[in-house]
């Protein structure tokens, strides 16, 4: 295969921070990016070639994106798989990962079914189509997490249910009693949450080192790489991640969230068919970032090295505010002054409670893997000193 | 000092590859970039917030840039210092490095005088205002390099003169016999060319490790970091670079080109008041790139670490063509497949003989400094396999 630059133009459904970092990674490769996003001047707009302002499920807008692109992808699960498939066919441009994979992952129940059929370990679960289904699941598992089959993220659409009496209210919260379309998942008593960012290219598969994810209120706060767990667990996580990639169609980066049980087993929690928050560390921490890998993979280009360059921690800058207001982050000087710390501001105009506004990454070239705990603490301190005015 | 993001908007005169990489480095810091460049859709345009199409010396265009910016800088010596000073004053926005520094560096004779007055070692030189001046210089030094005082770069505007008989023709080449406005520099019998990228911030100065520059036909081909020379020479180069920075006004990155003589002495060759081709290695090879440093310095923000992350080589992708044509570079797959190699395509529409079209950087995390020779060879191979169609 001969690859030439200027390369193909990438059409991306979604222009949030993932689209922004994708455009930043693609430009040096000679690959221009056009994003489709409903918010005028979305985060990716200033660094992308162009933005088409339109909804993620607007077939006309997706068609216009396809007409201007040589390959299609998406940075948000809300992309519409049917319209993507139609636009791909009409404009004769490939879309990756495949709409079929997106359709499966959009539905938490279908995702679990697909994994189970592939023999991949997941927490126990039951499909919930009625209050009675949920009551039965609670009786069986003791306590469950009720999840809307579609549309939930960052814990939204998830409700813990600890007794059959709570079932009816829980169903109302995630959907409607008539058509709950939910999933009940047995609570997993996990030791820690880890993730593997995997890349499926044209006939090749690569994975990044295992990251350890620190969540609070079901929102990712920090990722620590390498994960502070045993080599055996890390190997198991890599094996499971490769099995997941084998079960998925279409090229691209996949964020694979995993539970490590007290026994050292690995269960798949969720899969994102796109670059993932827990892979942001790779921009400074790995030879090739997850964003560059996604561009390479979607285009069918050779994948880059996933080798880790140094122990790395990324810490999310979330909207620590009570209500929405114009975004102005103070205290940045401490990040700028710190040795080996990097600010990533996503360019969002307004800050909302817990909105992802940016992240801070710190590396420690001369450190040992054990030093990542100290690195986690110092990176948290830098992040926590940032305040919204 | 409290620093907030979104940060100031940077107005940059020039939108070539340096402006492009500056915009790419500034975006994650929450700093947007507007470039001024005469070529519509210049290399920086797709990754910058906006481009003002206008000449580098168009006072009206520079004024419009200043009106939309919070700080001004330039990525090309052709920027007009008087217009920059006027626009800075009219719009009340700072410009760095100072117009005075730009004015001095634009004139190779004034640059040498400034260095000499500061006690900084430079090759012997004479001001040339007539054929007779040049003849006298040749008599004195044996052989000289005649350089136009203004406007030359990449060896253009330079003519070697080996005997008084060649003086008249040489003068005609670099200027006119009536007003030669040139400089005669004694040939330096140098061991190697090295450079130091220095950064002058708000009350702090930092320098990157010494790079070794390989030139051919007076055009930079590769930079090897660390330079393959003695620790004593590297220390001397650092000392001289800091003296140069002390002698210059205004914040920003300065590319300081040096000669190492056979005796291990260091002489200053030329200074660029901006990020420099020999500092491109820092994007992957250092904790903070020269482009991020330039943005930080111009804004008066704290400087980042200049620590080297790994032995690094950058190799320029020059226009290996006989005549101008649309740019299409083939053979990119070898760069993509190589371990730890990175492509940087500048997005220029057409390729001209020896035009700078991009560069390839390779790092070697596990290498010793001695391995840089092998790294230089492998990086050259990757670069040399790239061909323009």
The residue of chain B with its CA nearest to that of A333 is B3
Contact B253, B199 (CB under 8 A): yes
Contact B310 A309 (CB under 8 A): yes
- pLDDT, one tens digit per residue, over A263-286 is 999 999 999 999 999 999 999 999
Query: Chain B partners of A287 at a C-beta cutoff of 8 Å?
Result: 339-340, 363, 365
Contact A29 B343 (CB under 8 A): yes
Contact B304, B287 (CB under 8 A): yes
Distance of alpha carbon B107 from alpha carbon B181, whole angstroms: 9
Contact B316, B221 (CB under 8 A): yes
Q: Which of B2, B304, B330 sits opposite A333 (nearest CB)?
A: B2
Please compute the mean of the pLDDT values over residues A325-347 and round it to a whole number: 97
Q: State the residue range of the domain holding B13.
A: 9-95
Contact A30 B2 (CB under 8 A): no
Query: Chain A partners of B29 at a C-beta cutoff of 8 Å?
Result: 343, 345
Q: In what order do the strands lie in the sheet with B4-5?
A: A387-388, A329-330, B4-5
B203 and B177 co-located in one domain: no
Tell me the mean pLDDT per 10 residues along chain B, length 389: 94 98 98 98 96 97 98 95 98 98 96 98 96 94 92 74 93 78 92 98 97 94 97 98 96 98 97 98 98 98 96 97 97 95 97 97 79 94 97
Contact B24 A29 (CB under 8 A): no
More confident residue, B367 or A162: A162
Distance of alpha carbon A36 from alpha carbon A51, whole angstroms: 6
Q: How crowded is residue B89: how many other Cβ atoms within 10 Å of its Cβ? A: 11
Kindly state the tokens that stand for B66.
Answer: 């200043």
- The alpha-carbon gap from A150 to the nearest alpha carbon of chain B, in Å, equals 32
Residue of A27, A48, A326, A342 to mutate, testing the B interface (most B Cβ within 10 Å of its Cβ): A27
Kindly state the tokens that stand for A270.
Answer: 């969720």
Q: Which of A4, A309, A358 sits opposite B332 (nearest CB)?
A: A4
* Cα angle B122-B128-B130, degrees, rounded to a multiple of 5: 170
pLDDT of residue B56: 95
- The alpha-carbon gap from B243 to the nearest alpha carbon of chain A, in Å, equals 24
Distance of alpha carbon A388 from alpha carbon A328, whole angstroms: 6
The residue of chain A with its CA nearest to that of B287 is A340
Contact A184, A124 (CB under 8 A): no
Examine residue B116 and state whether it is found in any structural domain, yes or no: no
Examine residue A45 and state whether it is found in any structural domain, yes or no: yes
Nearby residues of A322 by Cβ (< 8 Å), 6 or more positions away: A353
Last residue of a domain, one of A186, A210, A240: A186
Contact B329 A363 (CB under 8 A): no
> In 3D, which of B332, B345, B361, B327 has the Cα closest to residue A4?
B332
* pLDDT reading at A156 higher than 70: no
More confident residue, A150 or A87: A87
Contact B20, B275 (CB under 8 A): no
Examine residue A102 and state whether it is found in any structural domain, yes or no: no
Q: Please give the mean pLDDT across all residues of chain A.
A: 95
Which residues face A225 on adjacent strands?
Answer: A312
| Axis crossing angle, helix A59-68 with helix A81-91, rounded to the nearest 10 | 40
Contact B1 A333 (CB under 8 A): yes
Examine residue A2 and state whether it is found in any structural domain, yes or no: no
The residue of chain B with its CA nearest to that of A286 is B340
Q: How many interface pairs between A and B have CB atoms less than 8 angstroms apart?
A: 135
Cα dihedral sign, A380-A381-A384-A389: negative
- The alpha-carbon gap from B299 to the nearest alpha carbon of chain A, in Å, equals 12
Helix or strand run (H / E) with residue B50:
strand B50-53
Contact A5 B343 (CB under 8 A): yes
> In 3D, which of B52, B16, B56, B53 has the Cα closest to residue B34?
B52
- The alpha-carbon gap from B154 to the nearest alpha carbon of chain A, in Å, equals 23
Helix, strand and coil content of chain B, in percent to the nearest 5, comes to: 35, 30, 40
Burial class, B86, CB count within 10 angstroms (exposed 0-12 / middle 13-18 / buried 19+):
middle
Examine residue B115 and state whether it is found in any structural domain, yes or no: no
B156 and B51 co-located in one domain: no
A179 and A202 co-located in one domain: no
Contact B237, B228 (CB under 8 A): no
Contact B32 A46 (CB under 8 A): yes
pLDDT of residue B369: 62
Burial class, A160, CB count within 10 angstroms (exposed 0-12 / middle 13-18 / buried 19+):
exposed
Query: Chain A partners of B6 at a C-beta cutoff of 8 Å?
Result: 327-328, 345, 347
Query: Chain B partners of A302 at a C-beta cutoff of 8 Å?
Result: 333, 336-337
Query: Chain B partners of A47 at a C-beta cutoff of 8 Å?
Result: 23-24, 27, 47
B142 and B290 co-located in one domain: no
B206 and B344 co-located in one domain: yes
Nearby residues of B117 by Cβ (< 8 Å), 6 or more positions away: none
Last residue of a domain, one of B143, B161, B186: B186
Residue of B1, B18, B30 to mutate, testing the A interface (most A Cβ within 10 Å of its Cβ): B30
Number of domains in chain B: 3
Residue of A17, A26, A44, A47 to mutate, testing the B interface (most B Cβ within 10 Å of its Cβ): A47
B151 and B212 co-located in one domain: no
B227 and B323 co-located in one domain: yes
What letter does residue B307 receive in the DSSP assignment? -
| Axis crossing angle, helix A131-141 with helix A167-174, rounded to the nearest 10 | 120
Kindly state the tokens that stand for B131.
Answer: 């054929």
Last residue of a domain, one of A149, A168, A186: A186
The residue of chain B with its CA nearest to that of A362 is B287
* Cα angle A269-A242-B363, degrees, rounded to a multiple of 5: 110
Give the CATH number for residue B328.
3.30.470.20
Give the CATH number for residue B84.
3.40.50.20
Strand duo B10-13 + B33-37: pairing? parallel
* pLDDT reading at A1 higher than 90: no
* Strands of B96-151, DSSP E: 125-128, 144-148
Residue of A31, A284, A311, A332 to mutate, testing the B interface (most B Cβ within 10 Å of its Cβ): A332
* Strands of B201-355, DSSP E: 205-207, 211-216, 219-225, 252-260, 266-272, 312-318, 325-326, 329-330, 341-345, 350-351
- The alpha-carbon gap from B369 to the nearest alpha carbon of chain A, in Å, equals 16
- pLDDT, one tens digit per residue, over A168-207 is 999 988 877 677 789 999 999 899 999 999 999 999 999 9
Kindly state the tokens that stand for B194.
Answer: 């090295």
Query: Chain A partners of B282 at a C-beta cutoff of 8 Å?
Result: none
Query: Chain B partners of A337 at a C-beta cutoff of 8 Å?
Result: 302
Q: How confident is the model at residue A144 (pLDDT cuts 50, 70, 90)?
A: very high
Contact B302 A342 (CB under 8 A): no
Burial class, B336, CB count within 10 angstroms (exposed 0-12 / middle 13-18 / buried 19+):
buried
Q: Which of A329, A337, A339 sits opposite B4 (nearest CB)?
A: A329
Cα dihedral sign, B223-B105-B174-B127: negative
Q: Which of B5, B309, B347 sits opposite A332 (nearest CB)?
A: B5
Examine residue B100 and state whether it is found in any structural domain, yes or no: no
Q: Which of A4, A332, A336 sits opposite B329 (nearest CB)?
A: A4
* pLDDT reading at A85 higher than 70: yes
Q: How far is CA A144 from CA A102, A106, A354, B91, in A?
A: 26, 20, 25, 62
Examine residue A3 and state whether it is found in any structural domain, yes or no: no
Distance of alpha carbon A303 from alpha carbon B337, whole angstroms: 7
Q: How far is CA A179 from CA A83, A143, A173, A175, A176, in A?
A: 24, 22, 12, 7, 5
Contact A24 B29 (CB under 8 A): no
Cα dihedral sign, B359-A20-A359-A145: negative
Nearby residues of A89 by Cβ (< 8 Å), 6 or more positions away: none
* Cα angle B173-B175-B181, degrees, rounded to a multiple of 5: 135
Give the CATH number for residue A128.
3.30.1490.20
Rounded to 5 degrees, φ, ψ at B95 are -125, 130
Interface predicted TM-score of the whole assembly (ipTM), two decimals: 0.95
Cα dihedral sign, B156-B157-B159-B165: positive
Q: How confident is the model at residue A153 (pLDDT cuts 50, 70, 90)?
A: low
Phi/psi class of residue B380: alpha, beta or left (left: φ > 0; alpha: ψ in -120 to 50)?
Answer: alpha
pLDDT of residue A160: 92
Examine residue A106 and state whether it is found in any structural domain, yes or no: no
Nearby residues of B270 by Cβ (< 8 Å), 6 or more positions away: B108, B111, B257
Q: Please state the residue numbers annotated as binding site of B.
A: 108, 147, 185-188, 193, 215, 269-270
Strand duo A329-330 + A387-388: pairing? antiparallel
A182 and A203 co-located in one domain: no
> In 3D, which of B48, B10, B17, B13 has the Cα closest to residue B279?
B17
Entry field: residues in chain A:
389
A89 and A136 co-located in one domain: no
A28 and A83 co-located in one domain: yes
- The alpha-carbon gap from B100 to the nearest alpha carbon of chain A, in Å, equals 29
Contact B339 A49 (CB under 8 A): no
Helix or strand run (H / E) with residue B71:
strand B71-74
B319 and B384 co-located in one domain: yes
How far, in whole angstroms, is CA A362 from its chain's centroid?
Answer: 20
A250 and A366 co-located in one domain: yes
């Amino acid at each position: 295969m001969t690859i030439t630059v200027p390369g193909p133009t990438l059409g991306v459904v979604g222009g949030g921070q993932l689209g922004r970092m994708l455009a930043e990674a693609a430009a040096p490769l000679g690959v221009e990016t056009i994003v489709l996003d409903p918010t005028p001047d979305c985060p990716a707009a200033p660094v992308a070639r162009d933005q088409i302002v339109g909804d993620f499920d607007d077939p006309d807008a997706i068609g216009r994106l396809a007409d201007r692109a040589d390959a299609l992808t998406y940075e948000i699960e809300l992309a519409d798989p049917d319209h993507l498939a139609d636009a791909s066919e009409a404009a004769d441009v490939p879309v990756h990962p495949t709409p079929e994979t997106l359709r499966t992952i959009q539905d938490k129940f279908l995702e679990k079914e697909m994994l189970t059929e592939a023999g991949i370990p997941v927490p126990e679960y039951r499909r919930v189509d009625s209050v009675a289904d949920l009551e039965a699941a609670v009786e069986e598992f003791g306590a469950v997490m009720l999840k809307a089959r579609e549309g939930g993220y960052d814990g939204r659409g998830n409700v813990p249910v600890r007794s059959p009496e709570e079932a009816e209210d829980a169903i109302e919260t995630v959907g409607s009693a008539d058509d709950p379309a939910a999933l009940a998942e047995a609570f997993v008593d996990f030791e820690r949450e880890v993730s593997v960012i995997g890349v499926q290219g044209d006939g090749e598969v690569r994975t990044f080192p295992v990251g350890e994810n620190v969540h609070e209120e079901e929102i990712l706060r920090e990722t620590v790489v390498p994960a502070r767990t045993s080599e055996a667990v890390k190997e198991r996580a890599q094996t499971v991640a490769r099995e997941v990639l084998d079960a998925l169609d279409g090229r691209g980066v996949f964020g694979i969230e995993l539970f490590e049980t007290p026994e050292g087993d690995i269960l798949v929690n969720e899969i994102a068919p796109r670059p993932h928050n827990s892979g942001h560390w790779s921009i400074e921490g790995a030879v090739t970032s997850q964003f560059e890998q996604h561009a390479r993979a979607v285009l069918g280009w050779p994948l880059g090295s996933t080798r880790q360059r140094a122990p790395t921690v990324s810490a999310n800058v979330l909207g620590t505010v009570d209500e929405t207001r114009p975004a102005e982050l103070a205290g940045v000087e401490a990040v700028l002054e710190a040795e080996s710390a990097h600010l990533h501001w996503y360019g969002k105009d307004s800050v909302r409670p817990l909105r992802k506004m940016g992240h801070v990454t710190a590396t420690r070239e001369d450190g040992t893997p054990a030093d990542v705990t100290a690195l986690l603490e110092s990176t948290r301190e830098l992040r926590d000193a940032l305040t919204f005015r």
